[in-house]
């Protein structure tokens, strides 16, 4: 199709405008791209001079930093396992059984999960975790995150399972499979893509989460990366920028990788709808 002159001009105008907006969005992140490779990184913006990977060596030589990344991994993987298993089982039951009030259960769960936010419920969550004797443990962080993420995870998976024809499991049961076998051998492989999306979403939430571990954890050995990053200050109280910048980049990599994976595998709109 040939464009008329005004159409062409408006195209150019649109592109220029979009480019400017994109640049404005990128501005605050430029420092974050340069500083990790700068041996003399400071809060100011500067081209890496000299360009170096030594900041990353510093991170890997810092046992607190590495330990914190490990804690983030434990919390992320732990919560993902709990959410993955509990949400799949519950969503399957909500989709495939005839228990009364299924619709109401989903409705109430969604309502509560949006009402009971971390900002509103930090006091009772802290009190419940202390009553269970779990303050300053990874288990507490995993369970609190799992509880908070479960309603949405169940909702997404239930939608997903509702879209799968029942005839899959029915034919397996006609062939003599028990309902449990039909679930594990027939339904589960079909649901797997839905579980992958939920699991990635849950992991990104826990990995980046700040408020919950900030409130529930006390000792530096337990802290995940999101909280430990605030201990990278010199004795004078100024941030050690070289360490911080390189650490921020390492800490961000899994999120970026998972995002690219999901957008490549499922298209990013799918992922977009379910963040937060």
Partner 1 sequence: MKQFSLLSRRAAALFLTPAGLLVAVFVLLPFFWVIVVSFTNRTLLGVTAVHPDFVGLQNYIRLFNPSTFFTRGQFGSSLIITTQFVLLSALIGQALLGLLLAWLMQAIPPALKRAVEAAVIGAWILPEVVIGFAWFAFLDYDNGTLNMILTALGLPRGDFLLQQPFWVIVIFNTWRGAAFSMMLFNSAFSSIPPSYFQAADVAGASSFQKFRDIALPLIRGHVVTDLILITMWTFNVFTPFLLTHGGPAYRTELLSIYNYRVAFKDFEFGQGSAVGVIIMLINLVLALIYLSIGRRRSKAEREAAAS
Window 73-102: residues binding partner 1 (CB under 8 A): 82, 85-87, 89-90, 92-94, 96-99
Nearest to 158 by CA among 205, 196, 195: 195
Give the footprint of partner 1 on residues 116-175 (CB under 8 A). 116-128, 143-144, 146-148, 150-151, 154, 166, 169-170, 173
185 vs 193: CA distance, rounded Å: 15
Considering the rule CB under 8 A, would residue 266 count as an interface residue with partner 1? no
- Least Å distance, CB 57 to partner 1, is 20
Considering the rule CB under 8 A, would residue 71 count as an interface residue with partner 1? no
Considering the rule CB under 8 A, would residue 40 count as an interface residue with partner 1? no
Q: Which is nearer to partner 1, 63 or 97 (CB)?
A: 97
Distance set, CA 239 to CA 100, 142, 232 (Å) = 57, 29, 6
Q: Which tokens in the block code for residue 101?
A: 């009030």
What is the DSSP secondary structure assignment for residue 84, as one 8-state letter? H
Considering the rule CB under 8 A, would residue 218 count as an interface residue with partner 1? no
> 227: buried, middle or exposed (CB in 10 Å: 19+, 13-18, 0-12)?
buried
User: How many binding residues for partner 1 (CB under 8 A)?
Assistant: 100
Q: Which is nearer to partner 1, 19 or 175 (CB)?
A: 19
Give the footprint of partner 1 on residues 42-61 (CB under 8 A). 42-46
- Least Å distance, CB 11 to partner 1, is 6
Question: Site mask, partner 1, residues 169-208, x = CB under 8 A?
Answer: xx--x-----xx-xx--------------------x--xx
Which residues are CB-neighbours of 150 under 8 A, at least 6 positions away?
Answer: 83, 86, 87, 90, 113
- Least Å distance, CB 176 to partner 1, is 15
Stretch that binds partner 1, among 55-63, 189-197, 225-233 (CB under 8 A): 225-233
- Least Å distance, CB 266 to partner 1, is 13
Q: Which long-range contacts (CB under 8 A, 24 or more apart) does 238-245 make?
A: 239/43, 241/35, 241/41, 241/42, 241/43, 242/35, 242/38, 242/39, 242/40, 242/41, 242/55, 242/58, 243/55, 243/58, 243/59, 243/62, 243/65, 245/31, 245/32, 245/35, 245/36, 245/38, 245/41, 245/55
- Least Å distance, CB 137 to partner 1, is 14
Q: Which is nearer to partner 1, 50 or 273 (CB)?
A: 273
């Amino acid at each position: 199709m040939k464009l008329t002159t005004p159409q062409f001009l408006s195209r150019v105008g649109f592109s220029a405008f979009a480019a400017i907006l994109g640049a404005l969005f990128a501005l605050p992140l430029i420092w974050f791209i340069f500083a990790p490779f700068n041996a003399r990184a400071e809060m100011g913006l500067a081209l890496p001079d000299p360009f170096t990977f030594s900041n990353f060596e510093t991170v890997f030589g810092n046992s607190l930093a590495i330990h914190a990344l490990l804690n983030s991994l434990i919390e992320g993987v732990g919560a993902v396992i709990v959410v993955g298993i509990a949400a799949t089982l519950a969503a399957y039951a909500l989709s495939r059984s005839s228990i009364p009030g299924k619709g109401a259960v989903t409705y109430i769960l969604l309502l509560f999960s949006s009402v009971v936010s971390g900002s509103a419920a930090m006091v009772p969550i802290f009190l419940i975790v202390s009553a269970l004797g779990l303050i300053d443990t990874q288990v507490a962080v995993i369970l609190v995150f799992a509880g908070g993420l479960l309603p949405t995870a169940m909702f997404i998976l239930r939608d997903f399972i509702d879209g799968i024809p029942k005839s899959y499991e029915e034919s397996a049961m006609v062939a003599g499979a028990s309902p449990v076998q039909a679930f594990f051998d027939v339904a589960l492989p079909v649901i797997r893509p839905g579980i992958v999306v939920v699991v990635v979403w849950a992991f990104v939430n826990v990995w980046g989460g700040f408020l919950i571990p900030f409130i529930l954890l006390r000792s530096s050995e337990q802290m995940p990366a999101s909280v430990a990053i605030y201990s990278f200050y010199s004795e004078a109280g100024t941030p050690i920028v070289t360490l911080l910048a390189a650490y921020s980049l390492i800490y961000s990599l899994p999120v970026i990788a998972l995002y690219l994976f999901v957008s490549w595998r499922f298209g990013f709109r799918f992922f977009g709808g379910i963040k937060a």
